[in-house]
């Protein structure tokens, strides 16, 4: 079994309801939900003014490969109604693979570990709650250390 660390988030159409629906679909289609962080309300990241996001980190035990997991998560996003209009724009649901064991993948459709993980407080804070001592396979630092060193000053608050 692979251990996948995911970040789910959204900021439109009742984001909390969307998070709970995504969790259920992930558990049904990807594997067993082992851990979930609390929900965090975070300032939107990027150049487009928009509502705050609600985010949660998940640890999933999955038999899916990295590519199978990606395709399943994209299918869940589509089924939930996500339409990709503008990069970093408002989203009904967003599901990112942050880490998958100590696997490193780099191809046109997928990069693991997530290439911006160390720069995003909104991802590190909930991930640190469920896996503070997990080592980033490329940077060789724990998630807690990456969070402490993160230059992102975006507001991240427990819901």
pLDDT tens digit at each of 159 positions of the chain: 999 999 999 999 999 999 999 999 999 999 999 999 999 999 887 778 899 999 999 999 999 999 999 999 999 999 999 887 777 778 899 999 999 999 999 999 999 999 999 999 999 999 999 999 999 999 999 999 999 999 998 889 998
* Domain of 88, in residue numbers: 2-158
Query: What is the pTM assigned to this prediction?
Result: 0.95
CATH number, residue 109: 3.30.70.560
The residues assigned a catalytic role are: 82, 91, 94, 96
DSSP string of the chain, one letter each residue? -EEEEEEEEE-SSSHHHHHHHHHHHHHHHT-EEEEEPPPEEE---SSS--PPEEEEEEEEEE-S-HHHHHHHHHHHHHHHT----STT---S-EEEEEEETT--EEETTEEES-TTGGG-HHHHHHHHHH-TTPBPTTT--BHHHHHHH------EEE-
The number of folded domains in the chain is: 1
């Amino acid at each position: 079994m692979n251990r996948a660390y995911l970040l789910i988030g959204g900021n439109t159409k009742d984001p909390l309801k969307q998070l709970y629906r995504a969790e259920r679909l992930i558990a049904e289609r990807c594997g067993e939900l082992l851990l979930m962080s609390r929900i965090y309300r975070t300032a939107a990241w990027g150049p487009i003014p928009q509502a705050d996001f609600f985010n949660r980190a998940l640890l999933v035990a999955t038999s899916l490969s990295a590519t199978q997991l990606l395709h399943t998560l994209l299918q869940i996003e589509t089924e939930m109604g996500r339409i990709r209009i503008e990069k970093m724009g408002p989203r009904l649901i967003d599901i990112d693979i942050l880490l998958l064991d100590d696997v490193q993948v780099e191809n046109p459709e997928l990069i693991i570990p997530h290439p911006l993980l160390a720069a995003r407080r909104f991802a590190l804070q909930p991930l640190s709650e469920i896996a503070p001592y997990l080592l980033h396979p490329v940077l060789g630092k724990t998630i807690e250390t990456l969070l402490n060193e993160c230059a992102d000053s975006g507001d991240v608050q427990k819901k």
